[in-house]
Chains A and B, each alone.
Chain A
């Protein structure tokens, strides 16, 4: 039996069926993914443009700010507050001390002023007395001088009398006792004369005192001048002290005002308050939408589906600088305190004041 030998032909390589299907699937998935991605990109671009435009035109947004006592600004504020208070206390102590000094000086001045008329009266009284007694004494002085001159003439004969006594004693005309008695009488006369001369000199002095300005009077005048000077110096010292007192009072007033103003800043509320206080930065462009009591809205995606979350409790006057939450540029504005019913809104990127930004 013939055997049919069939040359085995290798089967023709069949094109893979799986690979094209696999490729097709991959490409289909890729295309779906690519289309979705491109739509997302397109949506992203449109949304980005819309957000940019929205925040460029919107005038009611504000950026919540959570201030902590450990913030740099709060710490700096706290430090300044303590320093100001210490300065104020120091100024008050100084003022009290100055006031006491002024009071003391015023008392002293009053006492001196009271002394001065008495001294003046005494001088006048004395002057009057001197005017009255001076001429009399002068007359008496002259009389005394005349008497002393006469006595002097008499006393010039004393030596002759003594010689006569000695002669009489030697002649035995008088006893020694008589001689002694006579000599004692002579001494007494000389002594009286001397006393009289002294009296004359003293009288002359008295006359001089009564009729001219004597050193005693000068001393009194010196004391009077010293008194007046002391009063004048006291006046100056009191003036200086009062001026200083006035300046310190003004400084105290200014510090008190500054402290009062500081108490109206958000930082004071932050560092002094026990409860959490919520703030928001409002750019000047949006100022017209803000006042106390203005409603605060928080929105989904920072612009839609808004709900009222609180009100503006207080508007602070001080200027603040911040970075724009979207454009990241430096902007100027001010802070407001918010009374939030939903504290979570303080963590939102932006809130809106007065009205919902897109009416829903």
Chain B
């Protein structure tokens, strides 16, 4: 009975995914309502919050890219919050503050290492803007990113808007090539039906814009977020998106607001990142299930389905992988799945080369390796995520940090 149920749920997830992707393409090409009507005359004040931990010179480059934004300089500021980096990240922040005098850069530093989510909250304290954009400190931003994000907030019911995250290093390794495919498909196709109902399930923390009042309302929840007393520092983007939706606001991805991130190059780096994301997905699923009636009555059915089935699919992937390996180990890496993946890669590669030349992939065949990765991902990452919900690390950063009790917000701000 149990395996039948597993397969049924998996088939349901698969069917919904297929319908969703197909629907996304139809929406993308033929339904204007799927996109927000942007008003570029709407120019709220913006605080760009940049939490940082051990990024070194990258923070300088990130601030540099923001300083070139096509947005009135007096209408936005950068608040860089260092989470007690042990490298020279803080010095680079101060240097950026000095070098990019055309914009206001404020540099803050946590008293103790607090994690990304609390660093955002600490940075928020320095902000008085109408709109807050939380970014990752290893990203490079398109000059129009802020303008594009702000233009979407002309719709009053929009609470959070995300940008499209592109890959800076698509051809550095097979692993980066695979991620380029995934990132592109996720933003350009998968998120489209969610955009249509203004109910994107997870806006990437790389480029996350939110109304300041809304963030202030959610902030206590971020600070008090814990797992049986252990502060939760990861997955603040998913949490923020979820909270936005639960408060009756819409969430949206504006694919014209671009930023570029350096994706993990090696398998261990990717493994850590995916583990962090999977933990966040699992936590979110538990949270959704715990408050399912509220979700059902408050949210759009598409949103509920996304919030439940996406993480459920990830969990079931584990069972499917075990079933397949114990039943027919060769089926996973057979010619049919490989041909399917290579077919998808060929199409995506062509689309990316045509519409996003910067991310053009030199070796589309690399996507074939996704077969092996999907096995690792389904089998190990979900298991590890389920067994390490008490983790406190930043995920992609090397050093595990001690999280504070949530009040580690002593500031050392520079004007």
A interface residues (Cβ-Cβ under 8 A, vs B): 19-20, 23-24, 26-27, 30-31, 33-35, 37-38, 41, 48, 52, 326-329
Contact = CB atoms under 8 A, between A and B. Distances in A.
Contact of A23 (B228, B327, B329, B387): B228
B229 interface: yes
A19 B327 CA distance: 45
Interface residues of B, number: 17
Contacts of B389: 30
A20 B229 CA distance: 7
B329 A30 contact: no
A27 B389 CA distance: 10
Contacts of B325: 48
A75 B230 CA distance: 66
B278 to A, nearest CB: 14
B387 A328 contact: no
Contacts of A34: 386-388, 390
Contact of A27 (B230, B380, B387): B230
B243 interface: no
A324 B325 CA distance: 14
A31 B329 contact: no
B401 interface: no
B328 interface: yes
A250 B31 CA distance: 80
B327 A328 contact: yes
A43 to B, nearest CB: 13
A20 B226 CA distance: 12
A33 B327 CA distance: 27
B384 A38 contact: yes
A326 B390 CA distance: 37
A229 B200 CA distance: 105
Interface in B223-240: 228-230
A324 B145 CA distance: 57
Contact of A41 (B228, B383, B388): B383
8 contacts: A19-B229, A33-B387, A38-B384, A38-B387, A41-B383, A52-B329, A327-B330, A328-B329
B331 interface: yes
Nearest to B322: A44
Contact of B329 (A35, A37, A41, A327): A327
A33 B228 CA distance: 15
Q: Which DSSP category, helix, strand, loop or mixed, fits chain A's interface?
A: helix
Contacts of B380: 41
Contacts of A38: 383-384, 387
Interface in B348-395: 380, 383-384, 386-390
B383 A37 contact: yes
Contacts of A326: 329
Interface in B205-232: 228-230
Given A30-B390, A34-B387, 4 more contacts: A27-B230, A30-B228, A38-B384, A328-B331
Contacts of A328: 327-331
B383 to A, nearest CB: 5
A168 to B, nearest CB: 144
Given A327-B329, A328-B330, A31 B384 contact: no
B148 to A, nearest CB: 43
A328 B388 CA distance: 34
Given A328-B327, A328-B328, A27 B383 contact: no
A27 B328 contact: no
B328 A23 contact: no
A2 B250 CA distance: 64
Contacts of A20: 229
B229 A23 contact: yes
Contacts of B331: 328
A232 B265 CA distance: 98
Closest 8 CB pairs of A and B: A23-B229, A34-B387, A328-B328, A23-B228, A26-B228, A27-B228, A38-B387, A37-B387
A201 to B, nearest CB: 110
A31 B390 contact: yes
B390 to A, nearest CB: 6
Interface in B306-320: none
B289 to A, nearest CB: 18
